[in-house]
Structure 1
Amino acid sequence: MPKDAHSKTAVLYRMVMPEHTCPYGLKSKDLLEREGFEVEDHHLKTRAETDAFMSEQGVKTTPQTFIDGERVGGFDDLEVHFGKKDADPDETSYTPIIALFSVAALLAIAFARVALPSILAWQTLGWFVSISMVLLGLQKLKDIESFSTMFLNYDLLGKRWIRYAYAYPFIETGAGLLMTAMVWNWLSIPSALFIGAVGAISVFKAVYVDKRELKCACVGGDSTVPLGFVSLTENLMMVGMALVMGAVALG
């Protein structure tokens, strides 16, 4: 059957060896096909063949894609080429925080579905906050060094006591777990109230008083979320949760 005269063709060179198939090559082929291209798929089957190709093209990595005789590059370059991704890796993205809060909300609803007469209860909101704290703490625990470096840009207590920046992820995660389980209120409530209040004051000063443009460490040290509303909301949620639980405990 003859090819469509108007079909788009891309030439892809990728590693397909007995012991290793490049995952970025697979992703490149899939992306090209989803964009309507017929792919001339060239397999680089040995290390020597791969090295020779990279030397010939003057590149340091594979896969490499060519469209209309012009080299586009690797998978990241393809995503930029097709508008799937911004060329600037530091471009602001709220995707991680949206995903995190969405999962927290769904988990809170799941808990409520099992444990409560109705998901439309104040406890569902409480679980949403406490689960969010756990998930946010987990993001920070992935790389405490990176988190602490970003955190020290704006946290007032952290600047005075460096070890606080290292302790913060553990305090947030621990308080969130205790609040989710609704145990040891004597520890979880003051912990959340303290770090939430200090964090809220620090963010407010950095963003709204000093007018600094910083990245938020709320979802870890590799975050591209700007410091401001999201981080302030995180801290105010902790303060609110602590105050409500404290009022209930006293009542």
Structure 2
Amino acid sequence: MRYKMTIAYDGTDYAGWQIQPGERTVQAEIENVLERLTGRKIRIHHSGRTDAGVHAKGQVAHFDLSRRMELWRMQNGLNALLPPDIRIMKLQKVSADFHARFNAVSKEYRYFIWNGPAVPPELRLYRLHERRKLNIAAMKQAAQLLVGEHDFAAFTANPKREIGGTVKTVTQVSISRSRDGDVVIRVKGTGFLYKMVRSIAGFLLRVGAGELQPEDTKRFLAVATRTNEIPTAKPLGLFLWKVDY
């Protein structure tokens, strides 16, 4: 049987999603618990890795199990054994040809910024703190110029190692602000480069602070070269929000 998991996690104390020797990772925690629960070594396959300190509300993974188990019993067992900063939010049986990565048609990431004098303590691990007043209108102008198929080499931290090239399609970049100062950058697309969303967030923050102009978006896309004008925003504000199939 093939099972699909929707997973939420707080990435603060992890070296990322993917298994790494000598490091605490989300994938390793789940695989260890699966082995305890089933008595079998099971490899889980993810929709995409997240970096150290990055969170997820809707990460997706699948695994195969040769014996049948009741869904509710397996989900409850996994959550009882997992650390409290990882939760299996949904568990379902899927067809044998389902693949968490290769069947994904789009992903949505959200980057959260607290734009005010002080971050509420309960949000300190999940918000980038920006004290400067942000020009949301300018950020929205720049965001719209990122939508479409472009060479995003300027927005990846490692453009020379990107398998399949640096041309990607972004279908949505939107920005909203609440009355209390919570700013959310939503980025949706068919695929992403290494640290691309954090680079987009860093760029839009500079636009909002007046250090760059919305028109600079076209310049960075045209030159297709990474520059220190585009910072990589810290990981704590980033969530893998949803994967569509």
More helix by share: 1
Higher strand proportion (structure 1 or 2): 2
TM-score (norm. length: structure 2): 0.24
TM-score (structure 1 length as normaliser): 0.23
Q: Which has the higher contact order (CA 8 A, sep 6+)?
A: 2
Name which one, 1 or 2, has greater alpha-carbon Rg: 1
